[in-house]
Structure 1
Amino acid sequence: MNMRTIIVGEKVEAVSPKSAAPLFVLYDDLDAEASKAWLVDRMLGAGELSAFYGPPGCGKGVIIEDMALHIAAGCDWHGRAVARGSVVYIALERKRLVERRAIAFRNKHGLRNVPFAIVGGVYDFRDVTTAAQIAEICREVEHKTGQAVVLIVIDTVSRALAGGDENSPKDMGALVTVTAKLQEDTQAHILLVHHIPHDSDRLRGHGALLGAVDTTIAVANGGAARSARVVKANDSEEGEGISFTIDSVEISQDGTTAAVAVPADAPPPPTSVGPRLSANAKTMLAILQEAGRDGLLTEEWNARSRDAGIGARRRADLTDARSILKRAGLVREYADRWRSQA
C-alpha cells in the first residue's frame, strides 16, 4: 500500500490512504471542463431537487406523469432530450389514478417494457428511516429493470408530511433533510408535487422548501393550452417551459378513460393592455427599473422594497409581488440577480 506523509506540528507522520470515497474535493482537483448534466434538457438537472406546483385542475399530475414516462421510455419530451432510466413514482394519494394514466399512456403510444414503477402506501418523510425504505425500493426496481433509477416523484408534499404542518419550519425542514438523504442514497432527481395557497401563486407552506429546491416549475391552465414553466432555477435560465393540452384515452371495454398530455404550440401573447398588478408589485417593479440594466440582487431588492413599506409586517408580501411580476414576464432572475423586462 502506498504511504504518504503529512506534517503535524514539528513531526512528520506516515498516513495510509483509505479506500472509502473521499468526503471532500480539493480546489485543484475540480474538473475544469465540468458541465451541467440534465435529466430533461434545460429544465431539470440530473440528481437535483425540484418542485412542481399549481392550483387544482391545472393538469400538474398529468404533465408530471407524462414527463416521467417519457424519461423511463427514453423518448424526447416536447423536443427536449432526456436521460433515460428507471422512474419510481411514489403515489401517496390517488395511486389507482396514477396507474390508469400509465395505462392510457401505454395505449396511446404503444410502448412496452418501460421501467416505470408505482409505489403506494403511507410514508412519513419527516422520518429519516423513510429515506432508507425508499432507497431499498429503488434498488429492487433497478434489479428488476436493469436500469438505474434517475427520477423519484413524491406526490404530494402534503401527504409526505403525514399529518405534519406545512407552515412549520421543523416539519418542512425534516422533509427537506429526508429528501436530501434520499438524493444521497440514490443519486436520483427528486421531484416534489405541491400546491399553492388559495390567494397566491407561490409554493404553499414554509419557505424552507423553496430555499432547498434547485428548480420550481409552475403549472397553469391558460384555457386554450396549459403550460409548465421554470420559475426558479439555481444555475440555469428561468422561463423555460412547455405547453400542452389534455386528452382522454379509453383504457377499458366498459368505457373507462384516463387523461394523457398532448404537446401544444405555445399560446399567442395576450392582446390585453397589460397584466393586472397589485400595488406592491407595481412598487417593486418601479424599484427594479430604477436600478437600471445591472438590476438588483434578491436581498438588495428586498431591502429597497422594505424601505418602501413592503414586507415589513408580512415577509411573504415580497415573495408574492415578485411571483406576480415573474408570471407576467416583467422580470427575470439569473444567479440571484433580478432585471426588469418591462
Structure 2
Amino acid sequence: MNALPNVTSFAAFAKETSAMVSPPPFGAMWFSQAVKDLPPQKWLIDRIMPEDALVILHGPHGVAKTFVSLDMDIRIAIGEDWRGHRVSKGGVVYVAAEGRAGLRKRLKAWSDHYGDPGNIPFVLMTERVNLLDEDEVKHFIETIKRVNARMEMMGTPLRKITFDTLARCMPRGNENSHEHMGALVDNVDRIRRSVGSVTAMFCHHSGKDQTRGRAAIPACLRRPTP
C-alpha cells in the first residue's frame, strides 16, 4: 500500500493523492476539481427540459398532456423553438401506450395549424413496452438501437424518448411502490444509456386529488412545466 505523501497544504494533498488512484473510483473528484471540470447543464428545451435526464409531465386527466408532449417532441425533431424556449434538435421516439385512437386527430390538428413538418426524425410506436419486464426491455433496447442508427444516417441522432403514459408502461406495477418505481427507473436508464445519453420523459396522470404515485415517484424525475 502506498504511503500518504508528506505535504503541508490541502491543495498539495489533493494533488498528490489524486495521482495515487487512477482512474478514481465512482468518478470521485475533489471539490475544487468538480467546480472546474464538471460540465455545465445543457438543455433539450432551454430552462424547461435538460439533456441526458429523466423527466415527467405530470397532471390530471384532460389537461392536454399528450398534446403538449407531442408539441414538444415535434419541435425537438424539427429543431424549432418551443413557446419561446430554444430547442436543441434531435431525433424522438414517442411510445403511445395510451390513447392511440386520438393520436391521428392530434397529429393532424398540429399539422393543420403549424404546417406539415415533412420527413422529420420522429418515430411513433403504437404498442406499449412493459418497463418492468426484462425481456421486453431488452427487445426495446435493440429496437431503439436500430431506430437510432437510422436517425444517425439522417444526421440527427436520437435525443428523446417519451412514454405516454407511465401507468400503461408498467402494467400490474404499483406506482406507489418504491421497489417497482426503482426498477422502472433503472430500466429506463439502461434504455437511455444504450444509445448514448438521451432524455426520457413520462406522461403521468396524477389523479383528481394529485396523490397518485406521490409516495414513490422519485426525486430524480424533473418535472417540466407546460
**Normalising by structure 2, what TM-score?**
0.78
Counterparts of 2:108 and 2:149, CA distance in 1:
23
The residue number in structure 1 matching 2:181 is 172
Structure 2 residue runs of 5 or longer lacking an equivalent are 4-22
Residue 74 of structure 1, CA deviation: 0.5
1:210 to 193, 218, 225: 218
Q: Given residue 180 of structure 1, which amino acid in structure 2 is its aligned partner?
A: D
Post-superposition Cα deviations, 1:17-46, rounded to whole Å, max 9, x if no partner, equal: xxxx99743416657262111010001110
Structure 1 residue runs of 5 or longer lacking an equivalent are 1-6, 10-20, 219-227, 229-342
The residue number in structure 2 matching 1:183 is 192
Greater relative contact order structure (CA < 8 Å, 6+ sep) = 2
1:1-342 → structure 2 map (5 Å cutoff): 24-27=26-29, 30=34, 32=36, 34-108=39-113, 109-146=115-152, 147-186=156-195, 187-199=197-209, 201-202=210-211, 204-213=212-221, 215-217=222-224, 228=226
Judge conservation of contact 2:129–2:137 (CA < 8 Å) in 1: no
Question: Is the partner of 2:180 in helix, strand or coil?
Answer: helix
* Higher normalized strand content (fraction of residues): 1
Total equivalences in the alignment: 200
Counterparts of 2:93 and 2:76, CA distance in 1:
11
Residue 98 of structure 1, CA deviation: 2.6
Provide closer, same or farther for how the CA distance between residues 106 and 143 of structure 1 changes in structure 2, counting only shifts above 3 A: farther
Residue 119 of structure 1, CA deviation: 0.8
Counterparts of 1:66 and 1:182, CA distance in 2:
23
Provide closer, same or farther for how the CA distance between residues 207 and 153 of structure 1 changes in structure 2, counting only shifts above 3 A: same
Counterparts of 1:107 and 1:144, CA distance in 2:
27
Judge conservation of contact 2:132–2:183 (CA < 8 Å) in 1: yes
Judge conservation of contact 1:72–1:85 (CA < 8 Å) in 2: yes
Matched residues, percent identical? 27
Judge conservation of contact 2:181–2:218 (CA < 8 Å) in 1: no
Q: Given residue 219 of structure 2, which amino acid in structure 1 is its aligned partner?
A: G
* Higher normalized helix content (fraction of residues): 2
**Normalising by structure 1, what TM-score?**
0.53
Residue 141 of structure 1, CA deviation: 1.8
Counterparts of 2:215 and 2:172, CA distance in 1:
18
Judge conservation of contact 1:87–1:151 (CA < 8 Å) in 2: yes
Provide closer, same or farther for how the CA distance between residues 136 and 97 of structure 1 changes in structure 2, counting only shifts above 3 A: farther
Post-superposition Cα deviations, 1:169-216, rounded to whole Å, max 9, x if no partner, equal: 3222221221222222231101001111322x35x2253323231x11
Q: Given residue 107 of structure 2, which amino acid in structure 1 is its aligned partner?
A: A
Residue 120 of structure 1, CA deviation: 2.0
